[in-house]
């Protein structure tokens, strides 16, 4: 990973700042919300204590006696009468009731749905029946058996003294209910309307409260033909009518005295049915401003406490509160919850407090209050915090990225200069950033110092051969002449032997000095040689033919794919370079071995390779093969000073090419690459 990416990752640590700020805002919001919940809990407890003096209002009464309030009794046999804001028109439609579709009671066994509403002293019924064959009563017939009909059953709290109101129309439209009994008298105080639908029919009716008792039930009669054959009865609590639950005017009046702005108070009975509800929340225009849309909201929601959706705090459409915190209060324990909706900028804190009448729990008080002020402060704080810290993070990241780019550029320049500092001719000790006062400047100066010393040492090694040749030639000449004069003097056999050995030593020193002088001469020739365009293939072909005469115990093979290989340079130096490579190949091969010399065209230039069988290259000497005075041969090292490959490299680089050596399956290959000719 490069330096820029590392510093970019380090810059991400600045995101800890907005995270810490969000944690602080989160804890502050939680503390404010908990304080509001505690205040609401105290208020709810006070309201519950005041409502405890009205135990009879939490259950229906019969002859002034309070209904059995045993908590273990089954609460599932009630029918809730929803309060209506206005008196609906009795026309078979539900759209003027102001109720949600979820307020209807589904009656699967009767293939129908039921809605009950209360406005002042009237009870409104809405019944939607699914019936594929609606049969109307014939005039003067027995409407109870010869037609489809609906019976409204009402009894007292004990299930006795039943009254049955029958709705059996002769045609769609307004109809008159009849009271079942002697003569089936009409009940003109009941208004009803029968409406045909695609799936069956609907009945909407208005029944005065004084005609009803504490419990209600339905019986839906369906027949397939007017002669009463195939009569079917679908009953909904027809045998055991359910208790009719409506708002308590007394509890509604008492609760209204506790209403405050942005506060909603709900009172339920022991089963969770609403008996009173007053107050409302602020309108959407007064709600707290929400958080901006898009990715910022996702980030905020990930950092904040998650509450339930605000819609879940609304009164249950069925009339029976079933939220978890309400059920906990109906179980006898105070409970609290909170809801929020960032889309509408709404937050609600809710508490539920049980109502006790003595040792018996009669219901619960639900108190809900909007926390728009808290939500507004939180949103403003979060918006400023996130925006400021985000801008700061981006600035820090941009600054670190720019700094990293600058540092990376300096390091790359230093690295490139260090790679170019060593070439085949001299060492360039001057490196960039040497004048800087930081660590990179210190590193550049250290590298420059090392390169300068290396250049001095390399220059010493490069001129060592010529210096030794010059300094040793005169004393060697004196020794040689002295030995020649000594041969003319009478010597014993032993002295003559020693003299002969001395002559051989001086001859070997002459060869060494000649080889060392050759390297210096080659460098001078490269700089002074006149270049010409020649056929490299022809030069190599004739030279390889001469090698067969010089080394008859070796087999030389020349391969070429270029018959007209024009090259610019010095053919004499190229032949000298090839001589060194072939001499090296002969030295590392045995009698009868084949030495292959190959020329091929490569990207406009030429590649010359010399392959000989023999041992692989020593691993530790691979990088030094072409240095001066380096030899990997064993045996008589006096004959091999390691100048041959050095001279070959001088010639190749003088022609702008390169030389490498590598192991192959059959031995070792030396490969020379010449650049394309300028013509």
Do the Cβ atoms of 110 and 127 come closer than 8 Å?
no
Q: Which of 23-32, 280-289, 474-483, 670-679 has the lowest mean pLDDT?
A: 280-289
At 236, list the tokens: 């909904």
Q: How are the residues of the chain apportioned to helix, strand and coil, as percentages rounded to the nearest 5?
A: 40, 25, 30
The mean pLDDT of 185-212, rounded to a whole number, is: 93
% pLDDT > 70, the chain: 74
**264 or 426: which carries more pLDDT confidence?**
264
d(C-alpha 383, C-alpha 398), whole Å: 22
pLDDT at 47: 92
Do the Cβ atoms of 122 and 87 come closer than 8 Å?
yes
d(C-alpha 414, C-alpha 448), whole Å: 11
pLDDT at 626: 72
Alpha helices in 227-294 (DSSP H): 249-256
**678 or 42: which carries more pLDDT confidence?**
42
pLDDT at 638: 41
Q: Model confidence over 111-146: pLDDT tens digits?
A: 889 999 999 999 999 999 998 888 888 776 655 567
For 458, counting Cβ atoms within 10 Å of its Cβ (0-12 exposed, 13-18 middle, 19+ buried), the class is middle
Strand 82-83 and strand 78-80: the pairing is: unpaired
Rounded to 10 degrees, what is the CA torsion of 628, 630, 633, 636?
80
Do the Cβ atoms of 374 and 29 come closer than 8 Å?
yes
pLDDT at 367: 92
Longest dimension (CA), the chain: 179
pLDDT tier for residue 369 given thresholds of 50, 70 and 90: confident
Q: What is the residue-wise DSSP string for 73-88?
A: S----EEE-EE-SSPP
Q: Which of 78-87, 175-184, 619-628 has the lowest mean pLDDT?
A: 619-628
pLDDT at 665: 83
Do the Cβ atoms of 150 and 220 come closer than 8 Å?
yes
For 130, counting Cβ atoms within 10 Å of its Cβ (0-12 exposed, 13-18 middle, 19+ buried), the class is middle
Q: What DSSP element (H or E) covers 29?
A: helix 16-51
375: helix, strand or coil: helix
- The rounded radius of gyration (Å) of the Cα atoms in the chain is 56
Q: Which of 305-319, 440-454, 468-482, 509-523 has the lowest mean pLDDT?
A: 509-523
Domain boundaries 82-245, corresponding CATH code:
2.60.40.1190
Q: Which of 20-29, 241-250, 392-401, 431-440 has the lowest mean pLDDT?
A: 20-29
At 403, list the tokens: 């700094």
d(C-alpha 101, C-alpha 110), whole Å: 18
The mean pLDDT of 623-652, rounded to a whole number, is: 64
The mean pLDDT of 544-573, rounded to a whole number, is: 86
The mean pLDDT of 185-204, rounded to a whole number, is: 93
Could you count the other beta carbons within 10 Å of the beta carbon of residue 563? 9
pLDDT at 67: 39
d(C-alpha 556, C-alpha 583), whole Å: 12
d(C-alpha 179, C-alpha 163), whole Å: 7
Q: Mean pLDDT for the chain?
A: 78
Cα distances (Å, whole numbers) of residue 324 to 249, 309, 337, 371:
27, 14, 9, 20
Q: Which CATH architecture has domain 12-51+248-382?
A: 2-Layer Sandwich (3.30)
pLDDT tier for residue 354 given thresholds of 50, 70 and 90: very high
d(C-alpha 352, C-alpha 365), whole Å: 6
Closest alpha carbon to 226 in 134, 156, 313: 134
Phi and psi for 319 in degrees, rounded to 5? 95, -5
pLDDT at 74: 42
Q: Which of 155-169, 201-215, 238-252, 545-559 has the highest mean pLDDT?
A: 201-215
The mean pLDDT of 565-570, rounded to a whole number, is: 86
Do the Cβ atoms of 84 and 119 come closer than 8 Å?
yes
Instruction: Give the full edge-to-edge strand order of the sheet including 594-602.
Output: 555-560, 594-602, 605-612, 667-674, 658-664
pLDDT at 234: 66
pLDDT tier for residue 86 given thresholds of 50, 70 and 90: very high
- Buried residues in 512-532 as b, exposed as e (16+ CB within 10 A): bbebbbbbbebbebbeebeee
At 398, list the tokens: 């941009």
At 359, list the tokens: 């040792």
d(C-alpha 276, C-alpha 301), whole Å: 35
Q: Model confidence over 286-336: pLDDT tens digits?
A: 444 444 445 555 555 555 555 556 567 788 888 999 889 999 999 999 998
Do the Cβ atoms of 235 and 218 come closer than 8 Å?
yes
pLDDT at 196: 93
pLDDT at 144: 55
What ranges do the domains of the chain cover? 12-51+248-382, 82-245, 529-674
pLDDT tier for residue 632 given thresholds of 50, 70 and 90: low
pLDDT tier for residue 456 given thresholds of 50, 70 and 90: confident
Per the DSSP assignment, residues forming a β-bridge with 166 are 151, 178
Q: What is the residue-wise DSSP string for 113-126?
A: EEEEEEETTEEEEE
Does domain 529-674 sit in CATH 3.40.190.10? no
Could you count the other beta carbons within 10 Å of the beta carbon of residue 157? 17
589: helix, strand or coil: coil
Q: Which of 256-260, 283-287, 465-469, 473-477 has the lowest mean pLDDT?
A: 283-287
pLDDT at 128: 94
Q: What is the residue whose two structure tokens read 């944690």?
A: 23
pLDDT at 366: 93
Whether residue 207 has pLDDT greater than 90: yes
């Amino acid at each position: 990973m490069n330096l820029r990416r590392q510093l970019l990752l380090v810059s991400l640590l600045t995101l800890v700042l907005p995270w810490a700020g969000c944690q602080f805002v989160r804890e502050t919001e939680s503390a404010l919300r908990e304080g509001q919940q505690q205040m609401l809990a105290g208020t709810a407890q006070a309201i519950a204590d005041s409502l405890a003096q009205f135990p009879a209002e939490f259950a229906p009464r019969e002859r002034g006696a309070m209904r059995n309030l045993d908590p273990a009794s089954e609460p599932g046999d009630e029918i809730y009468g929803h309060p209506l804001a206005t008196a609906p028109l009795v026309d078979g439609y539900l759209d003027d009731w102001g109720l949600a579709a979820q307020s209807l009671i589904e009656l699967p066994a009767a293939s129908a749905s039921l809605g009950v509403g209360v406005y002042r002293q009237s009870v409104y019924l809405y019944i939607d029946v699914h019936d594929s064959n609606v049969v109307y009563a014939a005039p003067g017939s027995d409407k109870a058996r010869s037609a489809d009909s609906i019976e409204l059953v009402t009894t007292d709290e004990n299930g006795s003294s039943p009254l049955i109101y029958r709705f059996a129309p002769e045609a769609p439209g307004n109809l008159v209910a009849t009271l079942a009994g002697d003569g089936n008298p009409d009940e003109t105080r009941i208004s009803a309307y029968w409406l045909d639908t695609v799936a069956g029919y609907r009945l909407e009716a208005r029944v005065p409260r004084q005609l009803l008792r504490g419990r209600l039930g339905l019986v839906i009669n369906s027949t397939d033909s007017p002669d009463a054959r195939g009569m079917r009865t679908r009953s909904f609590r027809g045998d055991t009518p359910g208790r009719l639950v409506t708002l308590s005017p007394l509890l509604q009046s008492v609760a209204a005295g506790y209403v405050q702005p942005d506060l909603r108070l709900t009172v339920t009975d022991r089963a969770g049915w609403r008996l009173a509800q007053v107050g409302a929340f602020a309108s959407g225009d007064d709600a707290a401003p929400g958080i901006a849309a898009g990715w910022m909201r996702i980030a905020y929601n990930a950092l904040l406490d998650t509450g339930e959706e605000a819609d879940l705090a609304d009164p249950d459409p069925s009339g029976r509160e079933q939220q978890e915190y309400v059920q906990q209060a109906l179980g006898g324990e105070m409970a609290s919850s909170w809801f929020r909706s960032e889309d509408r900028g709404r937050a609600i804190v809710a508490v539920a407090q049980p109502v006790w009448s003595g040792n018996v729990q009669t219901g619960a008080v639900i108190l809900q209050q909007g926390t728009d002020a808290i939500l507004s402060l939180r949103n403003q704080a979060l918006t400023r915090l996130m925006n400021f810290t985000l801008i700061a993070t981006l600035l820090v990241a941009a600054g670190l990225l720019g700094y990293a780019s600058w540092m990376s550029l300096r390091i790359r320049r230093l690295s490139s200069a260090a790679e170019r500092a060593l070439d085949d001719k001299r060492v360039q000790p001057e490196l960039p950033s040497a004048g800087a006062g930081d660590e990179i400047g210190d590193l550049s100066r250290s590298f420059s110092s090392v390169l300068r010393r290396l250049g001095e040492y390399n220059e010493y090694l490069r001129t060592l051969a010529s210096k030794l040749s010059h300094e040793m030639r005169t004393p060697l000449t004196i020794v040689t002449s002295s030995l020649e004069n000594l041969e003319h003097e009478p010597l014993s056999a032993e002295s003559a032997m020693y003299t002969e050995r001395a002559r051989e030593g001086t001859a070997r020193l002459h060869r060494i000095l000649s080889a060392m002088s050759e390297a210096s001469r080659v460098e001078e020739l490269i700089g002074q040689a006149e270049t010409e365009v020649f056929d490299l293939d022809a030069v190599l072909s004739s030279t390889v033919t001469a090698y067969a005469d010089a080394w008859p115990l070796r087999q030389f093979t020349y391969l070429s794919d270029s018959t007209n290989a024009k090259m610019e340079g010095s053919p004499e130096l190229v032949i000298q370079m090839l001589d060194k490579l072939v001499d090296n190949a002969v030295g590392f091969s045995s009698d009868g071995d084949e030495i292959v010399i190959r020329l091929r065209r490569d990207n406009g230039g030429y590649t010359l390779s010399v392959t000989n069988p023999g041992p692989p290259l020593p691993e530790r000497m691979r990088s030094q093969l072409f240095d001066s005075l380096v030899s990997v041969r064993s045996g008589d090292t006096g004959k091999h000073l390691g100048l041959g490959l050095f001279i070959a490299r001088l010639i190749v680089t003088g022609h702008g090419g390169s030389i490498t050596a590598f192991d192959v399956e059959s031995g070792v290959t030396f490969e020379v690459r010449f650049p394309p000719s300028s013509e």
